[in-house]
Amino acid sequence: MDFKLTEEHLMIQKAARDFAQAELLPGVIERDEKQIFPTEQIKKMGELGFLGMMVDPKYGGSGLDTISYVLAMEEISKVDASASVVMSVNNSLVCWGLQTFGSEEQKEKYLSRLATGEIIGAFCLSEPEAGSDATSQRTTAIDMGDHYIVNGTKNWITNGSTADFYIVIAQTDVDKKHRGINALILEKTMPGFEIGPKEQKLGIRGSDTHSLMFTDVKVPKENRIGEDGFGFKFAMKTLAGGRIGIASQALGIASGAYELALKYSKERKAFGTEICNHQAIAFKLADMAVNIEAARHLCMKAAWDKDNHNNYDLSGAMAKLFASQVAMDTAVEAVQIHGGNGYVKEYHVERFMRDAKITQIYEGTSEIQKIVISRSIISQ
Ligand code: CAA
């Protein structure tokens, strides 16, 4: 077993760290406060190859492995989780899904533009009544021969208004239940496609979350991903990889909050010494460090499974469940270590605390991860 990162991995980690410090840190507080999407920063991330990290270079991607992706996600998330969710959705849910299951025509038409950030993508599964219970899709895609007619509403869609490319999961044949679901490519210029108002969120406020409404949207048959009825399996397989991305986002939030707390505890004095010298603080730092290291190992194991073509449903769900809890716990303790300063924006940790919560909710709540994990271990 080799725990050492390669030279290439270290270079990617450094490139992501340098980018986050130079380009994302300035303005991150204002973007959070005013809910401003990081348009320029996302464009630069595309130019640097961070939006299509695992895409084959023949489609304009970086052709890297999942370990590289986890390393970059951690570094970006240490500074700006709003930027990293755009990166995660584009890489894991959109580019990976399209590259793995899309037709050659679909890849040629969309993938290189998505991988370079010329356009960004969105993944539309959740509905008002189908969040965790993803088989209960109410959005319909009625088969009209050479096209589908799509009607319905999707909720909480990341990149909702900034995307140009949308993968929409919809029910074609109700009698076939989840085997009658399809994954279709929609473009926002299609007549009948409407974007709802921007959600006012607790965290990841720089990211762009909307509901989407479809009224008789005509979608050509060639925009279906995979065979008829493959849509639910497509969503599950894609989300399994997406969970590795969100686990590494959670890892980044945790390590970002921890690094700030450690630094602060070495500078701030109380009762005649730096507060890190008090066991009350030192023990918190020790717990944070252990939990973050354990979360990192789980993320890396899941990435390694994916890169080695092992099943990663279990390891990805474990990584997401654990890392998101570590993100939440670490961010809360980082605020506590900062005392009153932790409660104000300029110290960043209150933002980490708000951002951490979503990692326990999207791409499957913690309870969903426990369903996936328990089913997997019971069936072994
Ligand atoms: N890979 C391949 N197929 C899978 C699969 C996987 N990982 N997981 C399930 N399936 C298949 C099953 O084999 C089954 O197919 P067959 O009947 O043909 O064999 C089918 O899918 C249905 O599976 P289940 O009976 O297990 O389905 P279920 O109703 O019990 O639900 C669930 C399973 C895991 C709870 C699933 O509904 C789920 O993951 N829910 C959460 C959805 C989710 O993560 N939503 C997040 C939205 S996206 C998002 O947040 C993006 C963003 O903006 C950041």
Q: Residue ranges per domain, the chain? A: 7-120, 122-231, 232-379
Nearest to 102 by CA among 223, 229, 221: 223
Residue of 92, 236, 355 to mutate, ligand 1, most atoms within 8 A of C-beta: 236
Residue nearest atom 29 of ligand 1, based on CA coordinates: 135
Residue 366 C-alpha to ligand 1 middle, in angstroms? 14
- 156 CA: nearest ligand 1 atom: 53
Ligand 1 center–CA 236 separation, angstroms: 4
Instruction: Flag whether pLDDT at 274 surpasses 90.
Output: yes
Distance CA 182, CA 172 (A): 7
Q: CA–CA distance from 189 to each of 152, 167, 183, 186 (Å)? A: 17, 14, 18, 9
Name the superfamily (CATH) of residues 7-120.
Acyl-CoA dehydrogenase/oxidase, N-terminal domain (1.10.540.10)
Q: How far is the CA of 155 from the centre of ligand 1 (A)?
A: 17
Which residues form the catalytic set?
363
Ligand 1 — pocket residues by CB below 6 A?
Answer: 89, 123, 125-126, 132, 134-135, 158, 178-179, 232-233, 236-237, 239-240, 313, 362-364, 368, 371-372
Contact (CB, 8 A) for 345 and 29: yes
Q: How distant is the alpha carbon of residue 232 from its chain centre? A: 19
Average pLDDT over residues 347-369: 98
The rounded distance, in Å, linking the Cα atoms of 60 and 110 is 11
One-letter amino acid of 54: M
Contacts of 126 by beta carbon, 8 Å cutoff, 6+ apart: 134, 154, 155, 156, 157
Per CATH, 7-120 and 122-231 having the same topology is answered: no
- In this prediction, residue 354 carries a pLDDT of 98
- Each residue's pLDDT tens digit, 240-259: 999 999 999 999 999 999 99
Average pLDDT over residues 120-141: 93
Does the CA dihedral 242-243-247-253 come out positive or negative?
Answer: positive
Q: pLDDT confidence of 279, banded at 50, 70, 90?
A: very high
Q: How far is the CA of 7 from the centre of ligand 1 (A)?
A: 37
**Which residues, other chains included, contact 359 with Cβ-Cβ below 8 Å and sequence gap of 6+?**
246, 247, 249, 250, 253, 320, 323, 324, 327, 328
Task: Quickly tell me which residue has 């500078």 as its tokens.
Answer: 267
pTM more than 0.85: yes
- At 162-201, the pLDDT tens digits run 999 999 999 999 999 999 999 999 999 999 999 999 999 9
122-231 belongs to CATH 1.20.1440.230: no
**pLDDT for residue 1 is more than 90:** no
pLDDT of 371 strictly over 90: yes
Closest ligand 1 atom to residue 239 Cα is: 44
Residue nearest (by alpha carbon) to ligand 1 atom 47: 363
Best substitution site from 101, 233, 376, 379 to test ligand 1's pocket, by max atoms within 8 Å of Cβ? 233
**Which residue's C-alpha comes closest to atom 37 of ligand 1?**
134
Contacting residues for 197 by C-beta, under 8 A, at least 6 apart: 210, 211
Q: What is the pLDDT of residue 134?
A: 86
> 232-379 in CATH: which number?
1.20.140.10
pLDDT at 380: 86
221 contacts 372 by C-beta, under 8 angstroms: no
Which residue has the CA at smallest separation from atom 21 of ligand 1? Answer: 233
Rounded to the nearest integer, the mean pLDDT of the chain is 97
CA of 232 from ligand 1 middle (Å) equals 7
